[in-house]
């Protein structure tokens, strides 16, 4: 194990802020991590786990020790009755896993194509896109308790998955390092979901018929995402900056009287999810630039680094946007991105 000092993080997170980690260590196996925790020397040192850095905004350099998740491996646990169980290392790149699965014609992950980041971080916010969530294919995970070094197992119920939420954003926040995740995918009779957004029309344009393959769906999702979302390699960003607020139906109806164009999707019988991007757009932020940061021209929910931006600049813009949405609609939009 080689701990490095003053390690630059600009290329280790998708927003690209010029920050450093006081100390940096690659974690390649769960055993290495347990050894570190049990050594004692590092017990009191503050630690931050980093995967692909696609859901974090650094407003300052990292104090203490940054643990970079590089645990690899895709292992088949079993295959039976039209399903396959895979155990995947937490440091595996999420999209590479999706490509691996669709190329084997295993179904379930195709709508989650091109989401940046690692497998280990995916359960934390129950990643979701185009009507599918991680919980739909999740079986269990293994994690290391950062205080004791003990191995913990979480099944689906224990993860308490919600809309972009889980127990790892609540009771277990910051307390565990997710080292492995087990998924269950279909190997036949795939339950495809093409009803969301532009998937169907994109598949049609691609010449796909009524029963597209999971590979074709993945390609369609990639195409849609590339046309609408900024590529972090070109324009730094950390994805959707705010969560979509979920509000009581009565409040939604009241707001709809005032703002007839307001969009909403039911998430429970009396709860409506309002797209945060729409609210921000209505406040005039879409495409607006403030110094080196701005709201992306095609999706106002994504705050972008036009070059040379710091995390503080992005955070200052986020606060301005939040205040303007609160003023116009009386709704509090909360960051989805982890602010460091
Ligand atoms: P990081 O940013 O490295 O870490 C995020 C948080 O999790 C940090 O607090 C970190 O300390 C903690 N953490 C990371 N790994 C571990 C671990 N192994 N154990 C414990 N804690 C850990 N999200 C969606 O849900 N749907 C989308 O469609 C989507 N699209 C995106 C598009 C773009 C262009 C970008 C930039 C982001 C998008 N995101 C999306 C957000 C992001 O990709 C996901 O949240 C992703 O799961 C983050 O993974 P990561 O490895 O980059 O996490
Ligand atoms: P979009 O398709 O333009 O949709 C805008 C918003 O409306 C989204 O918040 C979406 O909710 C909601 N929506 C649209 N159609 C819906 C339906 N049929 N049922 C329920 N809700 C619906 O969004 P986009 O920005 O281009 O992103 C496409 C997908 O990728 C979305 O699922 C989005 O969540 C995901 N994404 C996430 C991030 C991130 O960082 N978290 C970044 C980029 C894209 P949902 O968000 O709940 O789907």
DSSP 8-state code for residue 165: B
Residue 123, SS3 per DSSP: coil
Q: Alpha-carbon distance 35 to 91, whole Å?
A: 18
Confidence of residue 42 (pLDDT cuts 50, 70, 90): confident
Confidence of residue 40 (pLDDT cuts 50, 70, 90): confident
Question: Mutate which of 218, 236, 265 to test ligand 2's pocket (most atoms within 8 Å of Cβ)?
Answer: 265
Q: What is the pLDDT of residue 210?
A: 86
Q: Which atom of ligand 1 is nearest to 91's Cα?
A: 18
User: Average model confidence (pLDDT) for the chain?
Assistant: 97
**Pairing relationship of beta strands 20-27 and 4-8 according to DSSP bridges:** antiparallel
Q: Residue 43 above 90 pLDDT? A: no
Q: Which atom of ligand 1 is nearest to 126's Cα?
A: 25
* pLDDT, tens digit, 9 for 90 and up, residues 117-175: 999 999 999 999 999 999 999 999 999 999 999 999 999 999 999 999 999 999 999 99
Largest CA distance in the chain: 61
C-alpha 266 to ligand 2 mean position (Å): 14
Q: What is the pLDDT of residue 209?
A: 86
Q: Are 83 and 186 in contact (CB under 8 A)?
A: yes
Name residue 299's beta-bridge partners.
none
Q: Which atom of ligand 1 is nearest to 177's Cα?
A: 19
Name residue 50's beta-bridge partners.
68
Question: Tokens 């990639």 sit at which residue?
Answer: 222
Q: Is 336 a catalytic residue?
A: yes
Protein residue closest via CA to atom 14 of ligand 2: 197
Q: Any idea which of 36-40, 78-82, 280-284 has the lowest mean pLDDT?
A: 36-40
DSSP 8-state code for residue 136: G
C-alpha 34 to ligand 2 mean position (Å): 38
Q: Residue 197 above 90 pLDDT? A: no
Nearest partner of 234 among 315, 116, 121, judged by Cα? 116
């Amino acid at each position: 194990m080689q701990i490095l000092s003053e390690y630059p993080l600009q290329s280790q997170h998708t927003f690209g802020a010029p920050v450093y980690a006081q100390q940096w260590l690659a974690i390649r196996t769960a055993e290495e991590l347990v050894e570190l925790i049990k050594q004692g020397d590092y017990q009191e040192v503050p630690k931050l786990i980093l995967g692909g850095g696609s859901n974090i905004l650094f407003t300052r350099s990292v104090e203490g020790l940054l643990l970079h998740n590089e645990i690899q491996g895709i292992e088949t646990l079993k295959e039976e009755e039209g399903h396959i169980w895979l155990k995947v290392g937490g440091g595996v790149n999420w999209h590479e896993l999706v490509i691996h699965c669709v190329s084997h014609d295993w179904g379930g992950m195709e709508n989650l194509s091109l989401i940046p980041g690692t497998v280990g971080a995916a359960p934390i916010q129950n990643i979701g896109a185009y009507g599918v969530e991680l919980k739909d294919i999740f079986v269990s995970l293994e994690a290391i308790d950062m205080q004791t070094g003990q191995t913990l197992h979480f099944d689906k119920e224990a993860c308490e998955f919600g809309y972009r939420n889980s127990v790892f954003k609540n009771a277990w926040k910051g307390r565990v390092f997710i080292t492995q995740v087990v998924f269950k995918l279909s190997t036949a009779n795939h339950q495809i979901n093409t009803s969301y957004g532009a998937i169907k029309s994109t598949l049609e344009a691609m010449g796909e018929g009524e029963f597209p393959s999971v590979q074709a769906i993945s390609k369609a999702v990639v195409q849609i995402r590339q046309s609408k979302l900024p590529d972090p390699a070109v324009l730094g960003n950390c994805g959707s900056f705010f969560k979509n607020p979920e509000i009581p139906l009565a409040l939604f109806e009241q707001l709809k009287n005032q703002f007839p164009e307001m969009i909403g999707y039911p998430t429970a019988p009396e709860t409506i999810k309002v797209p945060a991007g729409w609210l921000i757009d209505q406040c005039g932020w879409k495409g607006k630039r403030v110094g080196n940061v701005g709201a992306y021209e095609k999706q106002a929910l994504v705050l972008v680094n036009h070059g040379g931006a710091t995390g503080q600049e992005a955070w200052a813009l986020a606060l301005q946007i939040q205040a303007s949405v609160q003023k116009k609609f009386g709704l509090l939009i909360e960051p989805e991105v982890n602010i460091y």
